[in-house]
Amino acid sequence: MNYFTKDWYNEMTIIRFLDFPDTIEEWEENTQVFCQDSDFIKVCKEELEERKQDLLKYLPEPFHPFIYDGTLNTTYPSPNLRKLAADWVKKTEEKTLSVMKEYDKFFKSIKKLIPPNAQKIHDIGIHDAKVLDFKKNDKTFEIIFGDRKLKFTFTNVKKLAIPNRLLERWWLYAEIYPTEIGFELRVLFDDMSELFLEADNVLIDNI
Q: What is the pLDDT of residues 145-183, one digit of tens each?
A: 988 899 999 999 999 999 999 999 999 999 999 999 899
Q: What is the DSSP letter of 16?
A: G
Residue 100 burial (10 A CB sphere; 0-12, 13-18, 19+) = middle
Alpha helices, H only, the chain: 6-13, 24-35, 40-50, 52-58, 64-68, 79-110, 116-124
pTM: 0.88
Q: What is the pLDDT of residues 66-120, one digit of tens each?
A: 999 999 998 899 999 999 999 999 999 999 999 999 999 999 999 999 999 999 9
Residue pair 149/124 in contact (Cβ under 8 Å)? The answer is: no
Helix (H, G, I), strand (E, B) or coil at 6: helix
